Structure 1
């Protein structure tokens, strides 16, 4: 915590807020692309401290939130109908599928287990050689190395009862999808620092150049976020469009080459359905064909019909930065963390959950 204290220093926060009030002369709309950044902005009350000219909107930066109904239904099917030991991170089990969540499947007797690491799932597969074990591998580029390592580890151990249900999504294609959406009016981005820690910066420069849009790779603490916003606003005020790295204490230009190498061994790029948004070409990772025996989709030949989203849920508009959570007629009423209509109210990185737990009534 001592290491983080300087990035939560009230005096430094006040300094950056003063600078922002001096620099911002026109209305600007900036999207933070990471759910962790959203929660920090809301929890620390930063949205109400920003100059009125600056509007922060919240992007599709929560991998749990964008996992489509179809994949959740597949996970439920595996747990209930195939009798597998279905392992998942905690956020995922409460996200509603078309008929029920993994938590409800667990309550009905399915063997659903909450883990902190996919390597725990490999250990479970070792301990239960006569049971099939599936890990629900959800995440952006950040969690992909650990999920890939679990596959490589299972292969080294000669396990034939371990596989993953991959739901990996990629940030750069999602950024382009948001920019190209007719309703979204984004003028600058705070890019997700943890993703860039793995992938580096090279994928973002083409987006900056193609759309002439400022982008600042930013951390998650109050000082990080305010400095990132200030860097973005300075570019906007000066008519510039550059890729800058506020999070240089962690993010290097080439990311983590060893982690990327592991990812490349296991995954290949594919089209991906994003919940509430739709199909985004080349925006996901699937287990490659050479490791097909570790791909739950192939192993179990899963075929689940696509289901429609809840008509009352505006999660897609929230994820694209078109609306704020409190603009949903069901927010805090028909949709709460106990009775969620959509994933952003459940996930620890969901914008709706952030507003429900932390936001003041007048947050903008």
Structure 2
């Protein structure tokens, strides 16, 4: 299958790995931004195949994981109200709020529905004019255009019973926050290809120059990741700090003009709080004044929310790349996919979920510093 099998070729993977091994002369720390990239890395044991000197730090690139607790609690409050149909993608239903999740609200009688597109929620609003339909609009730049289109259509159709609970975040400000943190060890970034397919790469050269870090845009198949690492390591060894597009089959320098136009019309940049990380200036979007009537927070006047994170959960440190999931005392014991303490154990892109799914357990042989032979790894091909 084109663009699948050819990016899982074991012979090409070995050649890329050999070149990385031959290039590295000193320790380097690279951060993959996207949780989808993290899952590819852990699933195929890519981090275990790299030279000991190359460390991959898992970044905050999981939109479910970084949706702030107060927004989750607002979602729970709205979803529990009579007359509301609350729509969400499935991976949000088990994200823990302060004392419950959307599954529990559904079990207690709330009309919570899993949809596959914001346009599905829009269709529900058309078919249920006597109900308020709310779509939980989370995500990075990747999902924002579809959400913008949904509210644009709602306004055009005059659907006064449709609204968005918005928690969109933007990647470049998060990279800025990571690089300016005192404990930062990141020396290069593997940027998220799906984000850049929408936004282009215009925001990254300034970041690369200011912080003197290579930024390589990569895809999500094993060879995509290895090629991104190869390019990043090559730049680091040469003392370079450029933006490279290693995902040209999906990413254009200018991004997607139609999507960008829709985003500019519907959203405006705002400060956002990231769960486990804290506030990051200009790191999110909210509905613009023209579309403010479709903002669920304003429509339902959700106030008085008091949040509390579990004291034992260290998901925030995982999201910042300060620790690996297995370094959290609750990982795999108090915190599992069935009993999650943090969103990183629930989301399909969460680092904790990846480690648990692919059996990276505390003290196990697949942890960094205790390597297992290449032939025993679940490697590409």
Q: 2:374: which partner in 1? A: none
Q: 1:284: which partner in 2? A: 284
Q: Secondary structure at the match of 2:347?
A: coil
Residues 94 and 102 of structure 1 are in contact (CA less than 8 Å); yes or no, is this contact kept in structure 2?
yes
Q: How many residues of Structure 1 are paired with residues of Structure 2 in the alignment?
A: 364
Query: d(CA) in 2 for partners of 1:12 and 1:294?
Result: 49
Query: d(CA) in 2 for partners of 1:193 and 1:75?
Result: 29
User: Normalized against structure 1, the TM-score is what?
Assistant: 0.98
- Give 1:298 deviation, angstroms: 1.2
Q: 2:244: which partner in 1? A: 244
What is the CA deviation profile of residues 78-121 of structure 1, one whole-angstrom value per residue up to 9, with x for unaligned ones? 11135410000001111000111011100111000001000000
Q: 1:84: which partner in 2? A: 84
Q: Secondary structure at the match of 1:65?
A: helix
Q: 1:6: which partner in 2? A: 6
Residues 63 and 139 of structure 1 are in contact (CA less than 8 Å); yes or no, is this contact kept in structure 2?
yes
* 2:170 is the counterpart of 1:170: yes
What is the CA deviation profile of residues 42-85 of structure 1, one whole-angstrom value per residue up to 9, with x for unaligned ones? 01111111110000010010000000111111111111135410
* 2:135 is the counterpart of 1:135: yes
* 2:318 is the counterpart of 1:318: yes
- Give 1:306 deviation, angstroms: 4.0
Residues 36 and 349 of structure 2 are in contact (CA less than 8 Å); yes or no, is this contact kept in structure 1?
yes
Extract structure 1 runs of 4+ deviating beyond 6 A: none
- Give 1:180 deviation, angstroms: 1.1
Query: d(CA) in 1 for partners of 2:358 and 2:330?
Result: 17
Residues 170 and 283 of structure 1 are in contact (CA less than 8 Å); yes or no, is this contact kept in structure 2?
yes
- Give 1:7 deviation, angstroms: 0.7
- Give 1:304 deviation, angstroms: 3.6
Query: d(CA) in 1 for partners of 2:9 and 2:212?
Result: 33
What is the CA deviation profile of residues 248-279 of structure 1, one whole-angstrom value per residue up to 9, with x for unaligned ones? 11100000010010111110000001000000
Query: d(CA) in 2 for partners of 1:219 and 1:51?
Result: 21
Query: d(CA) in 2 for partners of 1:189 and 1:348?
Result: 21
Residues 44 and 222 of structure 1 are in contact (CA less than 8 Å); yes or no, is this contact kept in structure 2?
yes
Q: 1:34: which partner in 2? A: 34
Q: Secondary structure at the match of 1:241?
A: coil
Query: d(CA) in 1 for partners of 2:240 and 2:79?
Result: 51
Query: d(CA) in 1 for partners of 2:108 and 2:79?
Result: 10
Q: 2:219: which partner in 1? A: 219
Q: 1:263: which partner in 2? A: 263
Evaluate the alpha carbon distance shift between residue 52 and residue 359 of structure 1 in structure 2; reply closer, same or farther with a 3 A threshold: farther
What is the CA deviation profile of residues 145-195 of structure 1, one whole-angstrom value per residue up to 9, with x for unaligned ones? 000000011112110000000010000000111111112210000000000
- Give 1:18 deviation, angstroms: 0.5
* 2:203 is the counterpart of 1:203: yes
Q: 2:373: which partner in 1? A: none
1:117-196 equivalences under 5 Å are 117-196=117-196
Query: d(CA) in 1 for partners of 2:290 and 2:306?
Result: 27
Residues 140 and 171 of structure 1 are in contact (CA less than 8 Å); yes or no, is this contact kept in structure 2?
yes
Query: d(CA) in 2 for partners of 1:276 and 1:228?
Result: 27
Query: d(CA) in 2 for partners of 1:352 and 1:56?
Result: 15
Residues 121 and 134 of structure 1 are in contact (CA less than 8 Å); yes or no, is this contact kept in structure 2?
yes
- Give 1:300 deviation, angstroms: 1.4
Q: Secondary structure at the match of 1:231?
A: helix
- Give 1:290 deviation, angstroms: 1.1
User: Normalized against structure 2, the TM-score is what?
Assistant: 0.94
Query: d(CA) in 2 for partners of 1:82 and 1:67?
Result: 25
Residues 168 and 286 of structure 1 are in contact (CA less than 8 Å); yes or no, is this contact kept in structure 2?
yes
- Give 1:308 deviation, angstroms: 2.6
Q: Secondary structure at the match of 1:258?
A: helix
Residues 72 and 97 of structure 2 are in contact (CA less than 8 Å); yes or no, is this contact kept in structure 1?
yes
Q: 2:376: which partner in 1? A: none
Q: Secondary structure at the match of 2:313?
A: coil
